[in-house]
Amino acid sequence: MEVDFFITNGEKAIAIEVKHSDQVHPHDARHLKKVDALTGINSILKIVVYEGSEIKELGPGIVGIPAYILFGQE
C-alpha cells in the first residue's frame, strides 16, 4: 500500500493521493481508507487531488479536490 504524500506533525497527519484524471471515484481513495490502521494516527486529513472541477466526498473523512484549489487556475 502506498499514498503519494504523507505529512505528519505530532499526532496529526495529511495523506494525499494524486490522480491525473478529470474524474475521481471512491475506488481512487482505497489506499487512504487503510492509512489510519497502518499508521496508528487517528487525526489524518485524507485528500485525493485530481484534474476535475468539483469537490467530492469519496468516503468517510476522504475528499476529492480539484488541483486548481491547491495550485490556482492556469
Q: Where are the domains of the chain?
A: 5-71
For residue 51, the one-letter residue type is: E
Q: What is the pLDDT of residues 13-63, one digit of tens each?
A: 999 999 999 999 999 999 999 998 889 898 999 999 999 999 999 999 999
pTM over 0.85, yes/no = yes
The pLDDT value recorded for residue 74 is 66
Place 72 in a pLDDT band, splitting at 50, 70 and 90: confident
Give the span between the Cα atoms of 56 and 54, in whole angstroms: 6
Which residues have CB under 8 Å from 42's CB, separation 6+? Answer: 11, 36
The pLDDT value recorded for residue 42 is 85
